[in-house]
């Protein structure tokens, strides 16, 4: 007999164009409709842009759900959601209506050309760590073997991240 394994999935949503809050809400609704019911969401944080500091401020929010879908299936669906919500990939770290990153997929480590989990830069970005600190402070980063709480204490990123 085969066991059905539901993986714990954490995504980070971000928007810095248009009605940012509405884009976050629409992304959550589409994730629930197309992947799995979102069970938990962090607060919304207004954050300074990372990588390109001449962009408008972002709203970021982490979401949690359990899913039977593979990480690759989730990536494909989240990219479709981004396109549906007007995302245009014109430049690295450029402004966007919505960005959906897979932060964690259970305790798996995935290293493929199109998919790296845990997210490669998670532990270096305050705008990703702060929402996760609120939702899952004791979650252990599978590669670094440190909790989100410890990673937050070790952050050197001093860009503005404020709960709204």
Reported as a single tens digit per residue, the pLDDT across 50-73 is 766 778 899 999 999 999 999 999
Round to whole Å and give the CA distance between 127 and 62. Answer: 10
Known active-site residue 138: no
Residue corresponding to tokens 């932060």: 103
The whole-number pLDDT of residue 86 equals 76
Angstrom distances, CA of residue 27 to CA of 38, 39, 54, 99, 140 = 11, 14, 25, 9, 26
56: number of Cβ within 10 Å: 11
**pLDDT the model gives residue 22:** 97
pLDDT of residue 4: 76
Identify whether the C-beta of residue 84 lies closer than 8 Å to the C-beta of residue 92.
no
Told to judge if 101 belongs to the known catalytic residues of this protein, a careful annotator would answer yes
Residues 103/118, Cβ–Cβ less than 8 Å:
yes
**Catalytic site residue from 87, 125, 138, 143:** 87
Q: Which position among 19, 26, 76, 99 bears the catalytic label?
A: 99
pLDDT mean across residues, the chain: 92
C-alpha separations of 114 from 65, 98, 111, 135, 158 in Å: 22, 19, 8, 27, 29
Catalytic choice (8, 20, 54, 101): 101
Classify each residue of 130-158 as buried b or exposed e, where b means 16 or more C-beta atoms within 10 Å of its C-beta: bbbbbbbeebebeeeeebbeebbeebebe
Which residue is catalytic, options 96, 107, 125, 149?
A: 96
Q: Which of 11-15, 95-99, 141-145 has the lowest mean pLDDT?
A: 95-99
pLDDT, tens digit, for every residue of 99-135?
A: 999 999 999 999 999 999 999 999 999 999 999 999 9
Any catalytic annotation for residue 87? Answer: yes
């Amino acid at each position: 007999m085969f066991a059905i394994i539901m993986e714990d999935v954490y995504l980070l949503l971000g928007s810095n164009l248009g009605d940012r809050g509405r884009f976050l809400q629409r992304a959550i609704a589409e994730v629930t409709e197309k992947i799995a019911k979102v069970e938990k969401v962090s607060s919304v944080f207004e954050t300074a842009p990372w990588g390109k500091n001449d962009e408008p401020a972002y709203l970021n929010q982490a979401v949690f759900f359990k899913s039977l879908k593979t990480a690759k299936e989730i990536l494909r669906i989240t990219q479709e959601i981004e396109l549906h919500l007007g995302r245009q990939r014109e430049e690295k770290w450029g402004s966007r209506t919505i960005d959906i990153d897979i932060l964690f997929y259970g305790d798996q480590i995935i290293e493929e050309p199109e998919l790296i989990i845990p997210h490669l830069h998670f532990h270096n970005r305050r705008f990703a760590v702060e929402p996760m600190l609120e939702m899952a402070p004791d979650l252990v980063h599978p590669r670094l073997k440190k909790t989100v709480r410890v990673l937050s204490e070790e952050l050197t990123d001093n860009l503005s991240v404020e709960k709204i």
